Homo-oligomer: A and B are copies of this chain.
Amino acid sequence: MKRFRWGMIGGGKGAFIGGAHRIAAKIANSYELIGGVFDVNFERAKEFAFEEDIDLKRVYPDIDAFITSENKMPSSERIQVVSIVTPNYLHFEHAKKLLSNGYHVICEKPVTLSSTEAVELKEIAIKKGLVFCLTHTYTGYPMVREMKRRIEAGDIGVIQRVDAQYLQGWVNPIIHGGNARLSVWRLDPKVAGISSCMGDIGVHAFNMVEYATGLMVKEVLAVLSTLKPENTLDLDGNVLLRFDENLTGVIRSSQIATGEENNIQISVYGTKGAFHWEQENPNILKMMHEGAPSEIITPGYDYLSSFARDSHVLPPGHPEGIYEAFGNLYKGAAMAIRGEQTVPGQFPGIDEGIRGMQFIEAAVRSNKEGNRWVSI
């Protein structure tokens, strides 16, 4: 059998992100959904399994039942890789149990609630020789990958300015519209962790910055805002980045940028040229040059790096979207699980998870301690 026996924790009926994982897995063409813990409501979990033609015996009420039962199966039948699509605060427990029991893991971000937990997961994964894939989906876009490769190749020279943003507006009606605040788990510290805006989306921008540039942020200086005193977690903020003595940057992020949908952008300026990319029109990569016309780079061409070419199947002008970017991560994880050679940036792993948690922690701390520089 060519496809991995695949399981899910969370992501059942009505969870759009669960559906996105399934489509990504199908596009990757290497995963067959066999079982899982699809829902906290067991009946609903079974309904979901029925609709998906999944054997009801492989539907489990919780993670422990999953592990106990699957562990008993012969290795030729046992689920091999599991995707974790639960609320943030459960990621660590679920990932730890799965890794400890020998399952490859594909996990939603943020990977854990703290960097310490993330480091612990890394140790287990290494010890067990397992693949851990963290779904920083936006790194799966072909034009992001082209940007990464060209920066690696020195096409824009030495980097001298980095700008990233992740702007959304969806929290705006919630906080202004009445008492809906508590029903949204991302705004609840017990479920979401120490940060809303930076933890949920700022961290994507941070990941994009390190992914595209290949550089490591050394320090951050953050100014975060809850907008109103009654909001516990940050909903908006600007985080200054320091890479080294001469290179700084900035991440702007908001969940109350009214009218913004999912507006992730990055600009990287070098001594010789620059790149600009926008997620809402993801098949365009703008390359700027010193004293020469800007170029509009699009998928599907032979002139692209093999990494970008392999990340887009269709000919030029046939817009692939976010599911396909997501599918590229699943494809990368499948390659790693099969022991195939992967290339740098093929999929985000636990290291990216640790970096992300360190970023969130440093940003929150910088904000609390008077907007001072905090090391990552």
Contacts and interface: CB of A to CB of B under 8 A. Distances in A.
A145 B172 CA distance: 26
Nearest to A177: B290
A172 B161 CA distance: 12
Interface string A8-29: 0000000010011011001101
Interface string A309-326: 000011111111111100
A247 B248 CA distance: 23
B274 A269 contact: no
Interface stretch (A88-96, A206-214, A221-229, A330-338): A221-229
Interface in A248-297: 248-250, 252, 254, 256-263, 267, 269-274, 279-283, 286-297
Contact of A262 (B173, B281, B315, B371): B315
A180 interface: no
Interface in A147-175: 156, 160-161, 163, 165, 168-170, 172-173
Contacts of A249: 238
A99 interface: no
Nearest to A141: B319
B293 A295 contact: yes
A51 interface: yes
Contacts of A42: none
A254 B249 CA distance: 11
Contacts of A23: 26-27
A72 interface: no
A24 B263 CA distance: 27
A257 B274 contact: yes
A238 to B, nearest CB: 5
A332 B225 CA distance: 39
B259 A163 contact: no
Interface stretch (A124-132, A300-308, A351-359): A300-308
A280 B298 CA distance: 11
A60 interface: no
A290 B259 contact: yes
A303 B322 CA distance: 23
Nearest to A226: B246
A273 B292 contact: no
Contacts of A236: 160-161, 248
A220 to B, nearest CB: 11
Contacts of A223: 221, 240, 242, 248
Given A32-B53, A258-B273, 19 more contacts: A2-B51, A2-B52, A23-B26, A160-B258, A163-B252, A227-B246, A238-B248, A250-B250, A256-B269, A259-B273, A259-B290, A260-B269, A262-B316, A262-B317, A293-B295, A293-B298, A296-B296, A320-B322, A321-B321
23 contacts: A23-B26, A160-B256, A168-B317, A169-B288, A176-B271, A221-B221, A238-B249, A240-B240, A254-B269, A258-B274, A259-B269, A259-B288, A261-B300, A261-B317, A262-B317, A279-B319, A280-B319, A293-B303, A294-B295, A318-B321, A318-B322, A319-B319, A319-B321
Interface of A: 1-3, 16, 19-20, 22-23, 26-27, 29, 32, 50-53, 156, 160-161, 163, 165, 168-170, 172-173, 176, 221, 223, 225, 227-228, 236-238, 240, 242, 246-250, 252, 254, 256-263, 267, 269-274, 279-283, 286-298, 300-303, 313-324, 371-373
